[in-house]
Structure 1
Amino acid sequence: MTQASESLDVAIVGAGIGGVISLYYAQRAGLRARVFEAQPGVGGLWRQLPAWQDIQIAAADWTLGDIPLAGTFAPHIRANIEAWVDRFDLARDISLNTPVRASPREGGWTIATAGGEVTASHLVAATGAHNRPFIPPVQRNASAVAELHSSALQDPQALAGKSVLVVGAGASALDLLDLAVQHGAREIAWAHRGLRWFTPTRKPKAVAGSVRDFSRLQASGMTHAQQSAFIEADLRGRYAKFGLQAIVPAFPFDVLHQQLIPGRHRMIEHFAAIRRIAAEVEHMQADTVTLTDGTALRPDVVLWGTGYTADLSWLDVPALATVRSATQLREHCGGGFRSLDVPRLYFLAVGLDGLGSTSFAFALSCRSIMSHIRGTADLGLEPVKHNINHFDLATYLAPRDPASFPAGWQKVYRDMQLTTPDDQPYPIPQ
């Protein structure tokens, strides 16, 4: 239980994978740390997602070391995060059912909880840049059409025999299209404002989403421009192979500013049967959904694949009140993770939305944040205006955190890139 008199070196808000890893490295650094989590258990957003939701990378790219991952779906991900807590005996420093309000104070932070106030010298925001489901505020006039955000679709079998309208162009929309095909929707329409690059494939998402091929591109010495050109050429070939030329994005692929989403094989195989409309929902009235191009549809259900926004309402920092996306949050950070608005505040996952191994990236990030807090590293305040992909993160952090990257680190990490079997996780950075 949180004690009102507790004084911490580091307060960590959020007990998802980032918060749990952050606590592990705080303890390794000898810092007094505690995680505050509003939910009754660890797992972050994965505690809220339906059982069908899975990760977009291979199982080996999610976990670390020999901590097992039994599968790639939400229950497996929650169990893996819980395994972190058990393996490293972290539970005693995690306060569950504890929503907070964090306010800057001289020399640190005040963390207000229902049980009283806790002080901390530093604050790590580990609530993620995608933690609140987003549904566009379209006009609704006595609408009778059922609506579900992807996070609220608990039973995809309910789509059987239904007329479905999927809205969005990102990963969530591709998931919903795939589910609609898999569970026998009668007809499927897809409305989207723009397009995003993804990897057309007949392989399951967790196979197609492996980052090991990209890791080898990095290890080969390719520049970012060469990496982008190589990946785009491969993608264009795949789009042509699967007859998807109609949804090739009009802009070039850029590893520094875009995420590479794995394709969904059922959606690709049945692409010709999906009615695609390059428009947004304008308004909904009675049983009709009208799009911005004038198209009128009468679906049984609208499935919002419109993703998530950042919810930083627990932070008493006016400059961050309007931040809703990882891109916006990046503009408020320097040194990769440090807030430019208030001192002693750090954000995880900023700039890590491109290509990479989730847990490995968090581990490198959290280790260096704790080194900075201890005074053995200096992350600086220079803004990073692009993605830091995969092992580029080590290259970025090494000169700023030399204690964590001793002489010869380049060979160690290159060997890790080239010799770690594709079906095995990277080791836990020490």
Structure 2
Amino acid sequence: MDRTLDLAIVGAGIAGVVALDYARRAGVDALAFERQDGPGGLWRHLPAWQDIQISPHDWSLGDRVTAGPAQPQILAHIEDWADRAGVRDRILAATPVQRARHADGAWTLETPAGTFRAHHLLATGGHERPVVPPVQRVQARVRELHSSALRDPATLAGLRVVVVGGGASAYDLLEQSLLHGAAHIAWVYRGLRWFVPSRKPKHVAGSVRDYARLQMAGLGIAEQNAMLRQDLRARYAKFGLDAILPAQPFDVAHDQLMPGRPLMVERFAELARHPGAVAAIEGDEVVLADGTRLQADLLLWGTGYAFDLGWLEVAGLREARSPQAVSERCGGLFRSLEAPNLYLPGVQLDGIGSATLAYALMARSLMAHIQGRARLDLLPRERHVNHMEMVAYLAERDPESFGPDWQAQWRSLVLETPDDVPYPLP
């Protein structure tokens, strides 16, 4: 191409599509490069049973309302956003970025469709490589699937299942195993992540509105932690889950506030729990590090996803594999400390809050930064900037976008928006 883009966006999942939308509004010349055959990112190939971690009303913005929490509705929502925003023609589908490097004042991106140049680079979608730990396999007859590869959970009926992991993916797999009638469920975990025990459906229990109101009440981190720890411990005790209390106290600065899984709570006693790790798979047995042998038909890896920024010619980032490792290489919320004009908007979203709202706020301020109307600094962050904290954080650096009375406006929005109504598009 002859021109140099203002902004190249790698990935056309929800973050990439939202960024394209805001680029169009701001008059920023941008293209998105997507390795799949259309927008959607990870949601384009997840199984239909996979769903979001928060309420659909928290995941939606303005009049762009998702029809539900599961993969088909989320993918349709992202595609609808691209269509209604008029940015489909700005997405180069089936065009993976093979290499990106910064030289001579601009980024050069090599793709199967040719070489492109851009002044700024937004890297999204890196957190999607399924993690399957390396274990010894000796004449293994146990079938193995990562959570992203379990296409039809109805096939779990009657099977002896081993679920591995102590976070969101594992909790989902336990729920599916219970829902679809697995004959026996063994749960293996080294560490556990906090969740909110509840018998409500996940898409109801996952609302972040109460947390937003807590923030607007002016409570500091220590006070938020005290209230949430008390509530969480009471819930674990109420539902008889004290045996799986995480070792570390809940901390909003570093933890997610995940919704519980109702069947996992209701039928907790049916789960054969094994703190530890898988060491090997031998024949039809899963062998744990302590020597325990579990007979199994199927092993489900609920071990999450790793970052893969191998295409990026920035040494520290190319080798990073976790949100924490990427976040440590960023200043502000999402500016790279190791390369100029490089932005990584997903690394702060393992905290508490609405991903779509966060992406929209970051995209709007990024466009203002590109145009010289905002100043996104490079000060390192040592903790999550959760939900409505992001408004205050960006308002200080992008006053033009937020306006002089932003505090009153956002306070009113949080306190007066009904829980079943999406927040307005910023």
Identity of aligned residues (%): 55
Q: How does 1:9-28 map to 2 (within 5 A)?
A: 9-28=6-25
> Which runs of 5 or more structure 1 residues have no equivalent in the other structure?
none
- C-alpha deviation, 1:72, in angstroms: 0.7
Residue aligning to 2:118? 120
**Cα distance in 1, alignment partners of residues 348 and 62 from structure 2:** 24
The two structures, once aligned, show a CA RMSD in angstroms of 0.9
Provide the rounded CA distance (Å) in 1 between the counterparts of 2:137 and 2:374.
52
Is residue 50–residue 74 contact of structure 1 (8 Å, CA) maintained in 2?
A: yes
Tell me how far apart the structure 2 counterparts of residues 250 and 70 of structure 1 sit (CA, whole Å).
37
Q: CA deviation at 1:207?
A: 0.5
Q: Number of residue pairs matched? A: 425
TM-score (norm 2): 0.98
Q: Say if 2:212 is the partner of 1:201.
A: no
Opposite residue 215 of structure 1, the aligned amino acid is A
Secondary structure of the corresponding residue to residue 16 of structure 2? helix
Is the 1:5–1:117 Cα contact (8 Å) retained in structure 2?
Answer: no
Structure-to-structure mapping, 1:155-304, within 5 angstroms: 155-304=152-301
Q: Distance in 2 between matches of 1:70 and 1:237?
A: 33
Tell me which amino acid in the other structure corresponds to 2:119: S
CA distance in 1, matches of 2:7, 2:39: 18
**Among candidates 107, 126, 133, match of residue 109 of structure 1:** 107
CA offset digits 1:386-413 (Å, max 9, x no partner): 1110000011111111111211100001
Offset from partner CA, 1:126-185 (integer Å, 9 cap, x none): 114x21111111121221110000000000011000000000000000000000000000
Following TM superposition, where does structure 1 have runs of at least 4 consecutive aligned residues deviating by more than 6 angstroms?
none
The residue matched to 1:302 in structure 2 has which SS?
Answer: strand
1:405 aligns with 2:406: no
Task: Give 2:90's aligned residue.
Answer: 93
Contact preservation (8 Å) 2:196, 2:260 = yes
3-state SS of the aligned residue for 1:321?
helix
Give per-residue Cα distances to partners, 1:195-245, cap 9 Å, x unaligned. 111100000001001000101100111111111111111111111111111
2:144 matches 1:147: yes
8 A contact 2:57–2:65 mirrored in 1: no
Whether the aligned pair in 2 keeps the contact of 1:16 and 1:44 (CA below 8 Å) is yes
Measured in 1, the distance between the counterparts of 2:396 and 2:64 equals 30
8 Å Cα contact 2:311-2:318 kept in structure 1: no
The 3-state SS of whatever aligns with 2:248 is coil
Output the CA distance in 2 between the equivalents of 1:52 and 1:149. Answer: 14
C-alpha distance in structure 1 between counterparts of 2:240 and 2:233, whole Å? 10
* TM-score normalized with structure 1 length: 0.97
The corresponding residue for 2:312 is 315
What does the per-residue CA deviation read over 1:318-374, in whole Å, with 9 as the maximum and x for residues that have no partner? 222220010000011002111111101000122221110111111001111111111
Shift of 1:69: 1.1
CA distance in 2, matches of 1:6, 1:72: 40
Alignment of 1:352 with 2:327, yes or no, is no
> What does residue 329 of structure 2 align with?
332
Decide whether the 8 Å contact of 2:221 with 2:253 is kept in 1: yes
Q: Distance in 2 between matches of 1:155 and 1:6?
A: 46
Secondary structure in 2 matching 1:403: helix
Determine helix, strand or coil for the equivalent of 1:383: coil
Q: For residue 68 of structure 1, report the CA deviation from its aligned partner.
A: 2.3
Q: Would you say 1:43 and 2:40 are equivalent positions?
A: yes
Give the aligned residue type for 1:88. Answer: A
1:63-120 C-alpha deviation (Å, 9 max, x unpaired): 1101121111000000000111111111111100001121111211011111211110
1:411-422 matched pairs, under 5 angstroms:
411-422=408-419
Aligned to 1:57: 54
Opposite residue 197 of structure 2, the aligned amino acid is: P
Kindly state the Cα deviation for residue 6 of structure 1 after the two structures are TM-superposed: 4.2
Give the Å deviation of 1:268. Answer: 1.0
Alpha-carbon distance in structure 2 between the residues aligned to 1:300 and 1:359: 39
C-alpha deviations, 1:242-280, integer Å up to 9, x for none?
111101112211101111111100111111011001011
